Amino acid sequence: MKPENLLIIMSDEHDPRWMGCSGDRLVQTPNLDRLAARGTRFADAYTACPICVPARAAFAVGKYNHQIGYWDNADPYDGTVPSWHHLLRDRGHRVVSVGKLHFRSTEDDNGFSEEIIPMNVVDRKGDLYGLLRGDDMPPRQDGEKLEAMAGPGESEYTWYDREIASRAQIWLREEASKHRERPWVLFVSFVAPHFPLSAPPHWYYRYIERVPMPKLYAQHERPAHPAVRDHAENTGYDLHFKDELAVKRARAGYLGLISSLDENIGHILQTLEDLKLNSNTRILYTSDHGDNLGARGLWGKQILYQEAAAVPMILAGPGVPAGEVRTMPVSHVDVFPTVMEWVQGEFSDRGYPGFSLSELIAREKPDRTVLSEYHASSSRSGEFMIRHGKWKYVYYAHYPDRPQLFDLEADPEELLDLGTDKNFSKIRNQCHERLRALLDPVEVDRRAKKRQAEIVAANGGREAVIARGSFAYSPPPGFRAEFD
């Protein structure tokens, strides 16, 4: 690939099925749809971890979390492991971020030439409360506040996203032309549609009358799997939705935030067009993870169903085939080699688990296994998902006899769990061997918990962490966290 400028747009918590280009007929995403029409969309892309901080660390470094040791929302990226931003900046490229990073601190060398209105973890520590895992997890206290904020209106997040879009436009108009010797990279990172689910009214009211109830929401429909119950009971979000209207208000807020996000992305894409930068700028759109949005009684992310583990992945620009859809599973770890190839012209370091997405567009790898893993809040142990072909397998270190297995070709909504079906024991064994080829679940779980215990001890122990409390979401610049 000829080296070109690169615009990376990342959202937060966007389930990729909520886009017109994915086939959804309810949510309005005209700008993302046009981007997909002039590029290639990967329909089966996955986060390395379905929660913000470790997902963004893996995205930066290009390796899975068990390889780099950033486990949870209290173990943020601190710049010590080289990122694609470090490598490109140190080779003379201008690499600029605008918006959410969710790293440890602006005082660290995160690898960017410039960080514009960055948002990082609270107090350089993040969510210490989420480190308290196992059989005595204290329940989270955030759900009531989040339910109360769902509906029409503005929040500090909608304000922040508009500012992110504004700053990105300003940089493109006033700074991009100063960096012509080598391709530049602009990383624009929004917070929508992350809760609070307060959506601008002009979007919210387009959906409140039409939004359906979540699938498998009735009590008798919800999975009885113990790990799923752990998440639902510990987060407790759903306890605060008193009736169907409350549920629909939250879901309409989420859809409204997706359309608001699309609106902000449209301003940036229009700026590229106005400046005639489309001919020498490639674009990559993704999200750090998805959102359950009430499916199975679950809200937020934190579990490995498609709603939370799958992410959008759209590529466009010079050399990218237009109007194409690829169904081979890909991962955020593929972004590192893609960025290096697109900006540098080549990348051949096979010390990374990912492949250039350009290579995967040209030549599918049918035997490839993609991984997502979870070691954070509301889980008793490590949770590990692999995707291989049509099969999705989930293994829980705390519940080794209760894996999950889904045939996503026949059952894309994951309605039929084959995890204990004797007829599929051979497939499960094959999937488990593929997981074991990537990692040892017991060893990885032990290593994550050891690190988490060390962080808890360094912050005064369990009682001190509980006394500090939890918070619903990280505040953007200029705001402070409100602890419960």
The residue whose two tokens read 């966007």 is: 14
Contact 71, 375 (CB under 8 A): yes
SS3 439: coil
Cβ neighbors of 477 (< 8 A, separation 6 or more) are 117, 118, 119, 160
pLDDT at 347: 83
pLDDT at 107: 97
Distance CA 355, CA 405 (A): 26
Distance CA 309, CA 385 (A): 9
For Cα atoms 371, 374, 377, give the angle at the middle one, nearest 5 degrees: 165
pLDDT at 346: 82
Distance CA 251, CA 236 (A): 17
Q: What is the mean pLDDT of each run of 10 residues along the chain (484 residues)?
A: 96 98 98 98 98 98 98 98 97 98 98 98 97 92 89 98 98 97 98 97 98 98 97 94 97 98 98 97 98 97 97 98 97 97 87 94 91 97 97 98 98 98 98 98 98 98 96 92 85
Domains of the chain: residue spans and CATH = 5-368 (3.40.720.10)
Phi, psi dihedral angles at 86 (to 5 degrees): -60, -50
pLDDT at 349: 79
Tell me the helices (H) and strands (E) count for the chain, helix number first: 15, 17
Contact 302, 308 (CB under 8 A): yes
Cβ neighbors of 215 (< 8 A, separation 6 or more) are 295, 296, 413, 415
pLDDT at 458: 98
- Provide the token pair at 469: 């409390």
pLDDT at 482: 87
SS3 266: helix
Q: State the chain's mean pLDDT as an integer.
A: 96
Strands 391-396 and 399-407: antiparallel
pTM over 0.95? The answer is: yes
pLDDT, tens digit (0-9, with 9 covering 90-100), for 407-464: 999 999 999 999 999 999 999 999 999 999 999 999 999 999 999 999 999 999 999 9
The residue whose two tokens read 């705001």 is: 479
pLDDT at 365: 86
Question: Count of alpha carbons within 13 Å of 402, Cβ hemisphere only?
Answer: 13
Task: Please state, as a whole number, how many other Cβ atoms lie within 10 Å of the Cβ of residue 425.
Answer: 12
Name the amino acid, one letter, at 19: M
pLDDT at 483: 86
pLDDT at 350: 75
